[in-house]
Amino acid sequence: MKYINFNHVAEGYDTTRFVPQTIVENFGNLIFSHLETEFDEPPYRILSLGIGSGRVESFLSSEKNHLFGIDISELMLREYKKKTSEHQGFLSLADGCSLPLRPFFHIVTAIHIVHLISRTQKLVEELEKIAKTIVIGDIYTDTYSHPLYQEYSTEIAKSEWKRESSGISIEEFTNIFKEKGYGIMQKEMSAPAEISNHAIYDSLRSRSFSSLWSIPDDYHERALKHLEKYIESTGMKLESNFSTTSFLSLYFIDSRK
Ligand SMILES: C[S@@+](CC[C@H](N)C(=O)[O-])C[C@H]1O[C@@H](n2cnc3c(N)ncnc32)[C@H](O)[C@@H]1O
């Protein structure tokens, strides 16, 4: 069985996948307004599958609501535990395709994870069992439009390397539920964000994004040399900020149509 483990990028994860607070707050508001509409009173039991460092999902935990998070990465969970919070929730090292939990959740979230899991059918079965509402989606800052990222990608595209994807896209995943008769509601928002050129350069150098992990070393080194020349020839200041956009794109998948 193939797992995509985030242990080696755990330490810098929240920095390289930074999203502004307004996106995080909106995420919480959308989840709680759905829960309040569907169920009477808190406490709500929320399961986050692939909770990672708790970058966004940790904010769902409170005195009123019980958050359970599972992940296969010990070091991502360690990063989560470093966040000092009064209501940390309950964390467990476990596989989302084989949940060690009874189905007693009001809602399950799976943010930035379905594309990493090759056992799609098993994941669908587990999600269906565990809660009435499933929330999948992406919460991210656009770094792809940064000139360094663009230059790096163009350089890699000149090689024969092609990325192998393990799981399926969010749209394909959502369609599985649509065909089963689930109701689907999409929620989107965006907000301006600033990232330093240096942070993007560092993310590329350390291949912190999972889309870059399997690039062969020699192609990666060649692309980095190209970036050095690009920075020198354009006079790009690495300490300056790049203005971009952060996005939240969620699908609420509900068994009550
Ligand atoms: C891209 S990160 C997203 C983390 C978090 N949801 C967020 O948005 O910041 C994906 C997470 O899923 C975890 N993961 C991958 N496969 C998993 C599986 N089969 N079961 C549970 N977690 C898994 C990884 O270890 C990683 O922490």
The answer to whether residue 1 scores a pLDDT higher than 70 is no
Q: Which residues contact 113 (CB under 8 A, 6 or more apart)?
A: 49, 50, 96, 136
What are the structure tokens assigned to 54, written together? Answer: 């708790």
Q: Is the CB of 55 under 6 A from ligand 1?
A: yes
Q: Is the CB of 79 under 6 A from ligand 1?
A: no
* Residue 5: band (very low, low, confident or very high) from pLDDT cuts 50, 70, 90: confident
* Residue 210: band (very low, low, confident or very high) from pLDDT cuts 50, 70, 90: confident
Q: Is the CB of 123 under 6 A from ligand 1?
A: no
- pLDDT tens digits along 7-63: 999 999 999 999 999 999 999 999 999 999 998 888 999 999 999 999 999 999 988
Q: Is the CB of 56 under 6 A from ligand 1?
A: yes
pTM of this prediction? Answer: 0.93
Domain segments of the chain: what residues?
A: 7-142+163-194+243-254
Residue-level pLDDT at 185: 96
| Inter-CA distances, 44 with 39, 96, 204, 224, Å | 9, 20, 39, 47
Residue-level pLDDT at 70: 96
Q: Is the CB of 9 under 6 A from ligand 1?
A: no
| Inter-CA distances, 233 with 169, 192, 196, 203, 237, Å | 38, 28, 19, 21, 11
The answer to whether residue 256 scores a pLDDT higher than 70 is no
- pLDDT tens digits along 141-151: 999 999 999 99
Burial 201-219 (b: 16+ CB within 10 A, else e): bebbeebbbeebeebeeee
3.40.50.150, 3.10.180.10, 1.20.1090.10, 3.30.70.20: CATH of 7-142+163-194+243-254: 3.40.50.150
- How much distance in Å is there from the Cα of 186 to the middle of ligand 1? 21
- How much distance in Å is there from the Cα of 6 to the middle of ligand 1? 7
195 CB burial (10 A radius; 0-12, 13-18, 19+):
buried
Residue-level pLDDT at 211: 87
3-state secondary structure 203-244: HHHCCCCHHHCCCCHHHHHHHHHHHHHHHHHHCCCCCCEEEE
The answer to whether residue 79 scores a pLDDT higher than 60 is yes
Q: Is the CB of 30 under 6 A from ligand 1?
A: no
Tell me the Cα Rg of the chain. Answer: 19
Q: Which has the higher per-residue pLDDT, 85 or 24?
A: 24
Q: Is the CB of 75 under 6 A from ligand 1?
A: no
Report the atom number in ligand 1 closest to the C-alpha of 5: 25
